[in-house]
Structure 1
């Protein structure tokens, strides 16, 4: 099982992005650093199974859960996950597997067990503490950008930040692509201000109107983002937030997005 957690095609893309290790002192070198692939294996294990960091089976994984958590923190601060995500998006765009003409946006609530950054009372769960995952995808449901906020933040507040967070995706000749032509959203984004802002960036908003019946035209295209949210929630650790730090849940969410992109790249050939 441990070999399947970090396959070779994933690790080969991660290695060039890892920051160099600090030089070791000759007289007192200390312990040898844990293998990076074993640490990533433990992180993926936690992401898939949802176990706590101390419960990571070090004998099977090859790394303790405490070390895995520390590596997740260090790699998130170094920006490894966003760069890996950008590389995979470029690989998807080159053979035409990424459709940037249409994009869809949505958010989902996540139960939070501890107070911390980017947490807040949920308006849909009797004021209980939770967080929100915000996601924007392409026409096929491929995740383009994600963010984490408190549960009391409205979805519409992350519309422009998510659009700005889409990386400049290469893969084809010409300028890198980072803006969709049309943006599909549900009724929660139906505000005049947030129709004007995308138009100012050359994006046509396709937002469902409040008071209209379900099954309208935006819904027939926007369903892909809801499917991607379901894919993300297949990673058990993303269903409940245990960390007080905000960067660790974001790092796990970004890692899940890269795995989804890699799966799409594999199944398309």
Structure 2
């Protein structure tokens, strides 16, 4: 296994979250189970590249692509990736690296090459099947929550579900934090109904008005979400959607967000 694919600090966060597996006794026929320490290498190799699961080089990662896909499926169904993301956000907040007073939200289209759930005719790709990544970040661009919808879903329809998806983040004295004080968004979120919904939650909306000149100054704060999408799509598997199962693509999104959070922790210490 290439240790660069699964660094020790990443494995230290993943290992406590994995469900226990029963060891196969020697009298049972068949191959021994690939250790859990090896399987994430195959998942991360696919996440960082556009290689098909069947083409994962066993000699490089230590397991076949089929084995890596099965672990991704099992761990996604067990809810490993949201818990990993929450654990890393907690460490960031404890280290003073998470600033949730100002948050920004946006959506990004990706092409869905194989279809599946949460796809739809993309309005920016001549009606071809596509999906959308919806992302909310803190003041530094740290991903707080990410979701997947069809490419024909309007950004504003996912605003409240995305806010609800922000986990309760402990790490400091007092109540866990799960709500920003100000939310920055572009003109796609310019609806008075949603401004009222945000204010009812104690969130001040900072949303650009449609038809207003492009000198509102919101871009000075909102640009971090665009940079976060650039970070997210550096994982080449996420630039297009290859997974037919929406939950597996969502799991890869959450794993990529966790990798971004881990990178912030590394550079801070």
**What are the residue-to-residue correspondences of 1:6-21 with 2, within 5 Å?**
6-21=6-21
**What are the residue-to-residue correspondences of 1:247-266 with 2, within 5 Å?**
247-266=247-266
**What are the residue-to-residue correspondences of 1:1-269 with 2, within 5 Å?**
2-22=2-22, 24-25=24-25, 27-28=27-28, 30-269=30-269
Q: Is the 8 A contact 2:103 2:139 kept in 1?
A: yes
3-state SS of paired residue (1:130)? strand
Distance 1:113 1:71 in 2: 23
Which whole-Å deviations, capped at 9, do the CAs of 1:170-212 have from their partners, x for residues lacking one?
Answer: 1101110000000000000000111111111111111011012
Q: CA deviation at 1:114?
A: 1.3
Which whole-Å deviations, capped at 9, do the CAs of 1:54-94 have from their partners, x for residues lacking one?
Answer: 11001111110011111111111111111111111011001
3-state SS of paired residue (1:152)? coil
Residues 29 and 19 (structure 1), Cα distance of their counterparts in 2 relative to 1, 3 Å cut: farther
Distance 1:153 1:25 in 2: 50
Which whole-Å deviations, capped at 9, do the CAs of 1:140-192 have from their partners, x for residues lacking one?
Answer: 00000000000000111110011000000011011100000000000000001
TM superposition outliers: structure 1 runs of 4+ over 4 Å: none
Q: CA deviation at 1:49?
A: 1.2
**TM-score scaled to structure 2, two decimals?**
0.97
Structure 1 portions without partners, runs of 5+: none
Larger mean Cα displacement after TM superposition, 207-216 or 18-27 = 18-27
* RMSD, aligned CA: 1.2
Q: Is the 8 A contact 2:24 2:32 kept in 1?
A: no
Which whole-Å deviations, capped at 9, do the CAs of 1:235-265 have from their partners, x for residues lacking one?
Answer: 1100111111101111111110000000001
Distance 1:248 1:213 in 2: 41
Distance 1:129 1:168 in 2: 34
**TM-score scaled to structure 1, two decimals?**
0.97
